[in-house]
A and B are shown apart, each in its own frame.
Chain A
């Protein structure tokens, strides 16, 4: 190839850089080849033809470039614009979310069925087994458990054959718990012959404190990003389980638990039948708050500690005791239900931005997920985990490291993401105001991590409302980020259309 042709090709390649990346990837090489062929052919015909070709290419190029960019903008805007039902229009099999329309009958009943079965299980275990001998009760319980597991396995098989319809999400948490139980049993089998006492105690601690919350948090975040109806159905029983921690030492626990699971069954049916994401979210939050109010009330005023418990446990409960339980549960379930939804919304809004922004956002997502894990660990810590953690993690310093490590990593990832998002905005020629606002918002998403600060400072008793308020700031900040980016995107698109 002659020098002039090589030079022209190089210049053409430079001009191609101004096209959108997706267009370049699809047509860049081909355009370059066609241009080279055209140059070779017109050069052979004479210099006049070559000049004609170059003038034509240069003359058409700005208009064609503008049209390509305009079409891309239109396409991106249509893709990211939410539809009336809260879903996002599909762009291909990878990003396509299933529509959020109401599930046809009898699918909603299948969504509520597992919770109804759990309620039945609790009733039979509590009221039928109590009238049997110990041996008979144990056999009945085992039989019921096995029947439940078999029913679950059968349902999962059917769901798999049907391509995981939305109702199957209600069964997923139970499948997860069963899997977690089986893994724990396997771990038990494996660790016993180890011989090292410390390792034998440490492994279950790590499994419960680190692996389980990470796996659970990652799974619900992934579910939310893929399909919000499935996420809400899956998170519903988890919220009920979190509130159950308040029922410890309550004599009428079984009756209340059964009522809670039955309510969850009814709400799961309503969620599957609801016509909008907003209704579904309110139903989930409503059930969580309803169950939380009842459970914490009973767990405060109708509690019966064993006579061997320390004297201060037997003092009359106060309104503050109830409030403290309610605030803690509200925070944990709120983070559990709302954070993944807000993060999903935020991700859809920011996907339109530059590559650096997208990478920054994905890092933020990892950070927020880790912070969510910290919430779950904290919830478990206040339940039955304290003694296990104390036993398994040895010295106070080691305990501190294991408990706050995910929070610190999450916090660092959020800082990195804030810097990257800022850099991404700089590339997009955003105003200084935009950049400062977004930096502040993303930097402050890490506020949930402030909940870990009392742990950092060595203050173990977090059951005071004042320390929890710091923790509570995370959700409003996340909501503010969603609102702010949504508002800016809408304003910019409106400006572009004008």
Chain B
């Protein structure tokens, strides 16, 4: 894993959830909001301002990219669809690995503390 990927970690909860949502398939803005809610079992609700603030940063970092989809919104505008880039996927995998190590370390420590 390149060191510059490590520098970007840890991700904020909103960023992680958005990237997880895009890991399975490209989605448009509203679909991401709904998916994040489902993914977190109703715990995380993204507002439009948080979602698009995060999407802008992810686009600037090159972790996601954007295309126009053929289907349109209610206003007749073509929907923009976001997808993880290869770099974004690497970052997401690194974050999952980091969280996994953290959980493993936490499990080990709590099991040692048990009488």
Contacts and interface: CB of A to CB of B under 8 A. Distances in A.
A457 to B, nearest CB: 57
Contacts of B33: 34, 38
A23 B56 contact: yes
A429 interface: no
B10 interface: no
Contact of A30 (B47, B50, B52, B53): B52
Nearest to B73: A33
Interface of B: 29-30, 33, 45, 47-53, 55-57, 73-75, 77, 79-80
Given A60-B47, A71-B57, A33 B52 contact: no
A67 B51 CA distance: 12
Nearest to B55: A27
A30 B55 CA distance: 12
B48 A38 contact: yes
Contacts of B79: 33
Q: Name B's interface SS.
A: helix
| Most chain A CB atoms below 10 A, which of B49, B51, B55, B79 | B49
B49 A36 contact: no
A56 B48 CA distance: 9
Contacts of A37: 30, 73-74
A31 B48 contact: yes
A314 B68 CA distance: 80
A424 B45 CA distance: 40
A484 to B, nearest CB: 32
A33 B74 contact: yes
Q: Name A's interface SS.
A: helix
A27 B53 CA distance: 9
Interface string A15-37: 00000000100110111111111
A67 B47 contact: no
Q: Which 10 A-B pairs have the closest CB atoms?
A: A64-B49, A60-B47, A33-B73, A34-B29, A64-B53, A27-B52, A34-B30, A37-B30, A57-B47, A31-B48
A64 B56 CA distance: 12
A57 B51 CA distance: 11
Interface residues of A, number: 25
A391 to B, nearest CB: 62
A26 B52 CA distance: 10
10 contacts: A27-B55, A31-B29, A34-B33, A34-B51, A52-B45, A56-B47, A57-B48, A59-B47, A61-B47, A64-B47
A293 B69 CA distance: 68
A183 B84 CA distance: 56
Contacts of B29: 30-31, 33-34
A68 interface: yes
Contacts of B45: 52, 56
A65 interface: yes
Contacts of B56: 23, 26-27, 68, 71
Nearest to A32: B75
A220 to B, nearest CB: 36
Given A37-B73, A57-B49, 20 more contacts: A23-B56, A27-B55, A30-B29, A30-B77, A31-B29, A31-B48, A31-B52, A33-B29, A33-B30, A33-B74, A34-B29, A34-B30, A36-B74, A38-B30, A56-B47, A64-B50, A64-B53, A68-B53, A71-B56, A71-B57
A60 B50 contact: yes
Interface string A62-97: 001101100100000000000000000000000000
A65 B49 CA distance: 7
A36 B30 CA distance: 10
B57 to A, nearest CB: 7
Given A23-B56, A26-B56, A29-B77, A34 B48 contact: yes
Contacts of A33: 29-30, 73-75, 77, 79
